[in-house]
A = this chain, B = another copy of it.
Amino acid sequence: MTKSPSAAIVVGVDFGTLSGRAVVVRVADGAELGAAVYEYRSGVVDRVLPSTGVALPPGWALQVPADYLDVLRYAVPAALRDAGADPAEVIGVGTDFTSCTMVPTLADGTPLCDVPRFADRPHAYVKLWRHHAAQPQADRINALAEQWGEPWLARYGGLISSEWEFAKGLQILEEDPELYAAMRHWVEAADWIVWRLTGKYVRNACSAGYKGALQDGRYPAREFLAALNPGFAGFVEEKLAQPIGALGAVAGELSAPAAAWTGLPAGIPVAVGNVDAHVTAAAGNALSPGQMVAIMGTSTCLVMNGAELCEVPGMCGVVDGGIVAGRWGYEAGQSGTGDILGHFVRTGVPPEYAEQARAAGATLHEHLTRLASAQAVGEHGLLALDWHSGNRSVLVDHGLSGAIVGQTLATRPEDTYRALIEATAFGARTIIAAFNGSGLPVTELIVAGGLVRNSLVMQIYADVLRLPLSVVTSAIGPALGSAIHAAVAAGAYPDVPVAAAAMGQVRRAVYRPVPANADAYDALYELYVRLHDYFGRGGNDMMHRLRQIQREAVAA
């Protein structure tokens, strides 16, 4: 790695689902000089609203925006201390966020949940990306868009998600119209945090395109929104529209209050907000067509640039400049990966395994991984569907759920663990197959996120996908990506691709497919596809029926 004499540094801050992470990065070569994490105090609010103790309905997932500000207050100064860095050397700040995570605010950006008269109302809180209770609204939006032949629909693989800005916004209108009326802005958290840092509300091109249905400079039309609900007609101009900022551009200067929170110099450039997955493509220096970036954490986001506009069935979206200015950015995703494994480890593994892990000085994940690694492909006799959080691509259906087939009285926890890993790999394969089949061949998978540390997961993905796996070596890829955008915003590089080439941290082809394993997985993938299509494409609608029965049971 070339060392630069320059002492210039940038700060990147990544706002995840459970915590925020700040990293201090050298502009010259991307070296990570220090980092810190801050766990959100309220975490994910998905059972009861803390202010009232009232239970939330199934599918709800909220957050408390004060937690995000605490990341600025605690993680940023801690990262500077960890780096032993002089804050005066920091030339820029960049941020990225989970998405679509939405904050309802007053005109000045104050979250409605911070307004005392609204604090008891669930809709006043941040709707986290994985809030799935707006599915009925999403279904109506999709049905109407298809009926009207809305041109933007194909840019989202034919379906928009219940996670996105319109469905979540319509849910507020229909469930709490008074609150909807009081909401002046419906803000991506990615932009809200930049607003807090700069005092200016700039809407980033990535969120606006992928989650806000902004295509070719236009949002869905007023008539379309009125047809969904007359009260929704003005949603775009009244709640959503805002000047767009390109990725890597300057959103504003660090304000005095934000300088006080972070310990950074007031007045330095703050980059336009960004989305955690998309910004990671820069961290992995993977901005060329064919290079698909998989950010594998609780869920997996897959992003890839293309030179041209194609329509990939079931993709999340294609946005001009959505990953890097001047290219078509494609996004697809898996709603649950690490989350599924984490849920299993928390709820499905007996005490003796916990004791064995402790005795071996390993985490339960490590212990199960070691046991599962000893197996040949197919040895456990199981096949699972990775839809515990629904299916984001290619089925785009959050009414789906998980499944596992093949259990016997000899099935052990490590068998299920491995089957769940494999299910997520098969899920990734359905997505890559859709890209390959749409004229966007995928030739390399560049992997980032927490699951990178699990070499069994990595090898299974290489085998199932028959692709070399390159690894983003940064411990916090998105934060590094944000730092790269900060460097561009600060003028240290002319554009993001040049900055990514200098600052990206990646090892190429760390995992390669083992042909015998890949052959064996082909046979299992065939079975996966049958199960996928049976439950996911209308062969058996029972997952939706079960969800409906569940909703009725809970309501009664």
Q: Please, how many angstroms separate the alpha-carbon atoms of A403 and B401 in the complex?
A: 13
Residues of B within 8 A of A405 (CB): 401-403, 535, 542-543, 546
A383 contacts B340, C-beta separation under 8 Å: no
A346 in contact (CB, < 8 A):
yes
Give residues of chain A (367-395) contacting chain B, Cβ–Cβ below 8 Å. Answer: 375-383, 388-389
Residues of B within 8 A of A354 (CB): 350-351
Question: What sequence of 0s and 1s flags, for each residue 325-360 of chain A, a beta carbon within 8 Å of any chain B beta carbon?
Answer: 000000000001001100100111111001000000
A510 in contact (CB, < 8 A):
no
A410 in contact (CB, < 8 A):
yes
Residues of B within 8 A of A531 (CB): 540, 542
Stretch of A21-29, A77-85, A520-528 lying at the B interface: A520-528
From A382, A413, A545, name the one whose CB has the most chain B CB atoms within 10 angstroms. A545
Among B350, B380, B545, B554, the residue within 8 A (CB) of A351 is B350
A549 in contact (CB, < 8 A):
yes
A553 in contact (CB, < 8 A):
yes
Supposing A348-B350, A404-B407 touch, asked if A381 and B546 sit within 8 A by C-beta, the answer is yes
Residues of B within 8 A of A546 (CB): 378, 381-383, 405-406, 527
Residues of B within 8 A of A530 (CB): 540, 542
Residue on B with the closest CB to A376? B553
Residues of B within 8 A of A350 (CB): 346-351, 354
Residue on B with the closest CB to A61? B409
A436 in contact (CB, < 8 A):
no
Query: In whole Å, how far is A56's beta carbon from the nearest beta carbon of chain B?
Result: 11
Supposing A383-B542, A549-B378, A549-B381 touch, asked if A411 and B527 sit within 8 A by C-beta, the answer is no
Query: In whole Å, how far is A552's beta carbon from the nearest beta carbon of chain B?
Result: 7
B535 contacts A523, C-beta separation under 8 Å: no
Residues of B within 8 A of A523 (CB): 545, 549
Residues of B within 8 A of A380 (CB): 550
From A350, A523, A527, name the one whose CB has the most chain B CB atoms within 10 angstroms. A350
A547 in contact (CB, < 8 A):
yes
A554 contacts B402, C-beta separation under 8 Å: no
Residue on B with the closest CB to A531? B542
Q: Please, how many angstroms separate the alpha-carbon atoms of A94 and B546 in the complex?
A: 49
Supposing A350-B346, A405-B403 touch, asked if A378 and B550 sit within 8 A by C-beta, the answer is yes
Query: In whole Å, how far is A289's beta carbon from the nearest beta carbon of chain B?
Result: 34
Supposing A348-B350, A542-B531, A553-B378 touch, asked if A407 and B401 sit within 8 A by C-beta, the answer is yes
A1 in contact (CB, < 8 A):
no
Query: In whole Å, how far is A424's beta carbon from the nearest beta carbon of chain B?
Result: 13
From A383, A405, A552, name the one whose CB has the most chain B CB atoms within 10 angstroms. A405
Residue on B with the closest CB to A339? B409
Residue on B with the closest CB to A340? B409
Among B388, B413, B524, B549, the residue within 8 A (CB) of A408 is B388
A534 contacts B534, C-beta separation under 8 Å: yes
Query: In whole Å, how far is A520's beta carbon from the nearest beta carbon of chain B?
Result: 7
Query: In whole Å, how far is A117's beta carbon from the nearest beta carbon of chain B?
Result: 31
Residue on B with the closest CB to A534? B540
A412 in contact (CB, < 8 A):
yes
Q: Please, how many angstroms separate the alpha-carbon atoms of A524 and B378 in the complex?
A: 31
A58 in contact (CB, < 8 A):
yes
Residue on B with the closest CB to A389? B409
Q: Please, how many angstroms separate the alpha-carbon atoms of A55 and B401 in the complex?
A: 37
Supposing A350-B348, A549-B523 touch, asked if A408 and B389 sit within 8 A by C-beta, the answer is yes
Query: In whole Å, how far is A161's beta carbon from the nearest beta carbon of chain B?
Result: 17
Q: Please, how many angstroms separate the alpha-carbon atoms of A40 and B120 in the complex?
A: 65
B550 contacts A381, C-beta separation under 8 Å: yes
From A378, A389, A535, name the one whose CB has the most chain B CB atoms within 10 angstroms. A378
Question: What sequence of 0s and 1s flags, for each residue 512-540 of chain A, a beta carbon within 8 Å of any chain B beta carbon?
Answer: 00000000100110010011001100001
Query: In whole Å, how far is A397's beta carbon from the nearest beta carbon of chain B?
Result: 13
Contacts A350-B351, A406-B547 known; list 11 others, CB within 8 Å: A348-B350, A376-B553, A376-B554, A378-B546, A378-B550, A378-B552, A378-B553, A381-B401, A381-B546, A381-B547, A402-B405
A-B contact pairs, 10 of them (CB 8 A): A376-B554, A379-B554, A383-B546, A401-B407, A401-B408, A402-B406, A405-B543, A520-B553, A524-B549, A527-B542
